[in-house]
Structure 1
Amino acid sequence: MTTFLAVAACGGIGAVTRFVLNTSIQRWWNRAFPMSTFVINVIATFCAGIAAAAFAYQTVDHYTYLLFVTGFLGGFSTFSTAINEMVSLARKERFGMAALYCTLTIGVPLLCVAAGWELIALTQA
């Protein structure tokens, strides 16, 4: 039960962090491209790559990994919002922007996970 509550608390902290960052970015970015969700997901995937490598190289324990990845990053990242934004762009007939956003939302986070993993891997060599 303690683990459940700890993951829930970390998820709440992640969600509040996402809200603050989302609001901050939206204040200065007022264009069609959904920059705030994109930035949040890029940060989350980079951190997930770091966490996965740290866990794989046994520099963090399972509990810490669980709290950070499942809890904090689970509350912080927002793939469902990204998908909704893609659909909204398409419904507004902004097909080029929707395609670009889709491509970047899938491609860049893959690179970020790899970069985060590599960052930790380099410190283990």
Structure 2
Amino acid sequence: MTWVLLALAGGLGAAARFLLDSVVARHNRLATPLGTVVVNVTACFLLGLLTGWGLTHPGRDDVLAVLGVGFLGGYSTFSTASVEGVRLLAAGRTTAALVHAGTMLVASLAAAAAGVALAA
């Protein structure tokens, strides 16, 4: 039964990613793809919260799998971020590509750490 819930949660996460990315893209005035950054940073924060919660609530492996692997796995999109970085490089926008990748890395790590700290 867990695998069915995991698959459904993954689909819901992908739909949530699409909706949030679409909203951000509609309002983005920057020349870089901000939607993917917002999605991945929020995913890392939520995964940090979930991890912190899991550390204090042992024995909830099914819940952690469905929400972490399923929903947040479908929601986050580091593969898209990589493609966006390559597209920026291919367009000759090396600085934008480096800023995009670097910002995502630093902000995602900070968000995950903040989530763990808040939940633990």
The two structures have a TM-score, normalised by structure 2, of 0.95
Partner of 2:105: 106
Partner of 1:35: 34
Distance in 1 separating the partners of 2:15 and 2:82: 20
Q: Return 30-39 or 57-66, whichever deviates more.
A: 57-66
Alpha-carbon deviation of 1:106?
A: 1.0
The one-letter code of the counterpart of 1:8 is: A
Partner of 1:24: 23
- Written as runs of structure 1 = structure 2, the 5 A alignment for 1:90-101 is 90-101=89-100
Contact kept, 8 Å, 1:54 with 1:60, in 2: the verdict is no
Instruction: Note the residue ranges of structure 1 that are not aligned, 5 or more in a row.
Output: none
Distance in 1 separating the partners of 2:32 and 2:16: 21
Count residues with an aligned counterpart: 120
Tell me the C-alpha RMSD between the 2 structures.
1.2
Alpha-carbon deviation of 1:103?
A: 0.7
Structure 1 residues 8-44: Cα deviation after superposition (integer angstroms, max 9, x where no partner): 0000000001111111111111432110000000100
Distance in 1 separating the partners of 2:111 and 2:35: 16
- Written as runs of structure 1 = structure 2, the 5 A alignment for 1:6-85 is 6-58=5-57, 61-85=60-84
Distance in 1 separating the partners of 2:113 and 2:59: 18
Structure 1 residues 40-74: Cα deviation after superposition (integer angstroms, max 9, x where no partner): 00100000000011101117711111110000000
Q: Report percent identity of matched pairs.
A: 34
Following TM superposition, where does structure 1 have runs of at least 4 consecutive aligned residues deviating by more than 4 angstroms? none
The two structures have a TM-score, normalised by structure 1, of 0.92
The one-letter code of the counterpart of 2:17 is: R
